[in-house]
């Protein structure tokens, strides 16, 4: 249904207020309520953010964010929600100091100090802090990769409640005014090499989905969104992943698609039954799936390359069957998720600024491994709006290009601050979280 038909409803709901489940699907198009945006694809179809900016140009506001976090800020109506973790410095003398610990891969150490796990709500217009809540204070069980942190899972909302997942610390549910509603501690897990968790929660109707692939017993679990109580849990034969599941409504069923090394799987959201499965990906699976009306696309790019397009009509084990529309084995991403926009799939190679584009339906190459000049390393997943692609590099440089498959660069913009978090787009605003600040980029001219 055309977004313009929702304009009257969106105007009525532009002020901060809860929405009913019936309104949610219409209103979410004009918000960014979860990781990867309103359609979990990285695309904002009713938005038109700036093409150019600089530290002194088209920055509506910039606010400091204490602690560390690389989760995407989410936007709902007039409010922005983001997560951070703050080292309080309060040490437990019974735990070894980082400098006294044995050497581990990547120089990872285990904390001996207490962290505060914080949820922040900001005013969208001004960046002013409306409220903040310390969800918990705890010494984390494990450390994290130097490029990760303890607040890398993005929050999500259903327009009534806010869901904040801090991995081993727990899931915390608030109303949109910051009043705590429920919390769940789902226990400790062992993540590969102590890289720390990163998968974001997904809310769909009255259910919250959390995937916890790890080096012990992996599982996916679904909680009641109102109470936090268990609805179902399914064990998974997987090692650590950092991808966020994708929820798809197709042919009368609601599928939860998970991307992983052993198997790509689709679960029935109702009861956890496996609807279909397909041979898996390469190691350290991090990119989240994306889908259109007929196919779901899964990629990974650590120690190999894999991309696969699988029919949503699939049933059972479809490995090496006609249900797999196409496969690729080169140029796929390690950390960033692919972008699906107007029938084209855009993705970078590993964490490098090398861009490819293929036809989503056929896998036919449109643009093959083209260097994105001005960028080097990329962790943030790309976003798109108004016929444009936005790729943010780790240095804080954003490359804006036409979404034509020909890679026509429109602008190269600097923020002057490193960026690992994926951007969010709402209306004429682009929100980018840097290492120290949250930026609202909007035309000020």
pLDDT for the residue 137? 98
Please give the DSSP secondary-structure letter assigned to residue 151: -
pLDDT at residue 13 tops 80: no
Distance CA 420, CA 387 (A): 24
In angstroms, the CA 53 to CA 44 distance is: 19
Taking residues 110-136, what's their average pLDDT?
98
> Which tens digit of pLDDT belongs to each residue from 426-437?
999 999 999 999
Q: Is 339 helix (H, G, I), strand (E, B) or coil?
A: strand
Average pLDDT, integer, range 256-271: 98
Residue 343: CB atoms within 10 A of its CB come to 12
H or E, element range at 11? helix 7-12
Q: What is the mean pLDDT of residues 318-322?
A: 97
pLDDT tens for each residue of 43-53 = 999 999 999 99
Task: Please report, in angstroms and rounded to a whole number, the separation of the first and last CA atoms in the chain.
Answer: 33
- pLDDT of residue 5 exceeding 50: no
What's the rounded mean pLDDT across residues 226-250? 98
Q: What percent of the chain has pLDDT over 90?
A: 91
pLDDT band at residue 19, thresholds of 50, 70 and 90? low
Q: Is a pLDDT exceeding 90 seen at residue 12?
A: no
* pLDDT exceeds cutoff 80 at 1: no
How far apart, in whole angstroms, are the C-alpha atoms of residue 385 and residue 397? 18
Q: Does residue 398 register a pLDDT over 90?
A: yes
Mean pLDDT, the chain, whole residue set: 94
Going from N- to C-terminal start, the domains of the chain cover 3-441
Q: For the residues 410-417, what does the mean pLDDT come to?
A: 96
Average of per-residue pLDDT across 391-408: 95
Confidence at residue 40, expressed as pLDDT on a 0 to 100 scale: 96
pTM comes to 0.94
What CATH architecture applies to the domain 3-441?
7 Propeller (2.130)
Span 353-368, average pLDDT: 97
pLDDT of amino acid 405: 84
Mean pLDDT of 317-342: 97
| pLDDT over 80 (residue 116) | yes
What does the alpha-carbon distance between residue 369 and residue 383 come to, in Å, rounded to a whole number?
Answer: 19
Least confident of 1-15, 145-159, 185-199: 1-15
Once rounded to an integer, what is the mean pLDDT over residues 26-36? 93
Q: Would you place residue 180 in the very low, low, confident or very high pLDDT band (cuts 50, 70, 90)?
A: very high
Model confidence over 58-105: pLDDT tens digits?
Answer: 999 999 999 999 999 999 999 999 999 999 999 999 999 999 999 999
What pLDDT score was predicted for residue 14? 42
Strands 295-300 and 253-258: unpaired
**Residue 444 binned pLDDT confidence (cut-offs 50, 70, 90):** confident
pLDDT of residue 15: 43
pLDDT-derived band at 9 (thresholds 50, 70, 90) equals very low
Query: In the numeric block, which tokens belong to residue 156?
Result: 């999500």
């Amino acid at each position: 249904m055309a977004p313009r038909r929702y304009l009257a409803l969106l105007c009525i709901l532009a002020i901060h207020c809860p929405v009913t489940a019936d309104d949610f699907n219409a209103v979410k198009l004009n918000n960014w309520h979860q990781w990867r945006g309103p359609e979990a694809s990285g695309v904002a179809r009713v938005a038109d953010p700036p093409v150019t900016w600089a530290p002194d140009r088209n920055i509506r506001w910039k606010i400091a964010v204490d602690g560390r976090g690389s989760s995407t800020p989410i936007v709902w109506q007039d409010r922005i929600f983001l997560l951070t973790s703050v080292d309080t410095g309060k040490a437990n003398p019974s735990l070894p100091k980082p400098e006294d610990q044995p050497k581990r891969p990547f120089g990872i150490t285990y904390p001996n100090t207490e962290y505060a796990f914080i949820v922040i709500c900001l005013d969208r217009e001004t960046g002013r802090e409306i409220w903040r809540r310390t969800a918990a204070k705890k010494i984390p069980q494990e450390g994290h990769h130097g490029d990760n942190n303890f607040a890398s899972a993005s929050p999500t909302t259903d327009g009534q409640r806010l869901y904040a997942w801090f991995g081993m610390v727990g899931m915390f549910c608030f109303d949109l005014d910051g009043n705590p509603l429920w919390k769940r501690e789902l226990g400790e897990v062992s993540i590969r090499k102590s890289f720390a968790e990163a998968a974001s929660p997904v809310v769909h109707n009255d259910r919250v989905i959390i995937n916890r692939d790890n080096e012990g017993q992996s599982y996916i679990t679904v909680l009641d969104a109102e109470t936090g109580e268990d609805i179902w849990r399914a064990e998974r034969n997987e090692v650590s992943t950092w991808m966020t599941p994708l929820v798809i409504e197709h042919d009368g069923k609601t599928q939860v698609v998970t991307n992983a090394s052993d198997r790509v799987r689709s679960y029935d959201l109702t009861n956890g039954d496996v609807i279909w499965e397909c041979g898996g990906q390469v190691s350290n699976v991090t990119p989240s799936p994306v889908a259109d009306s007929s196919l779901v696309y899964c990629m990974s790019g650590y120690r190999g390359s894999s991309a696969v397009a699988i029919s949503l009509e699939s049933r059972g084990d479809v490995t090496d069957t006609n249900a797999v529309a196409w496969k690729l084995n080169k140029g796929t991403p390690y950390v960033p998720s692919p972008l699906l926009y107007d029938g084209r799939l855009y993705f970078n190679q590993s964490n490098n600024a090398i861009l490819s584009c293929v036809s989503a339906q056929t896998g036919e190459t449109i643009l093959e491994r083209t260097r994105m000049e001005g960028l080097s390393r990329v962790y943030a997943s790309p976003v798109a709006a108004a016929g444009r692609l936005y790729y943010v590099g780790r240095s804080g440089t954003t490359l804006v290009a036409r979404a034509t498959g020909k890679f026509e660069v429109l602008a190269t913009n600097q923020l002057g601050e490193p960026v690992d978090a994926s951007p969010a787009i709402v209306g004429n605003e682009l929100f980018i979280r840097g290492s120290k600040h949250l930026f609202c980029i909007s035309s000020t001219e």
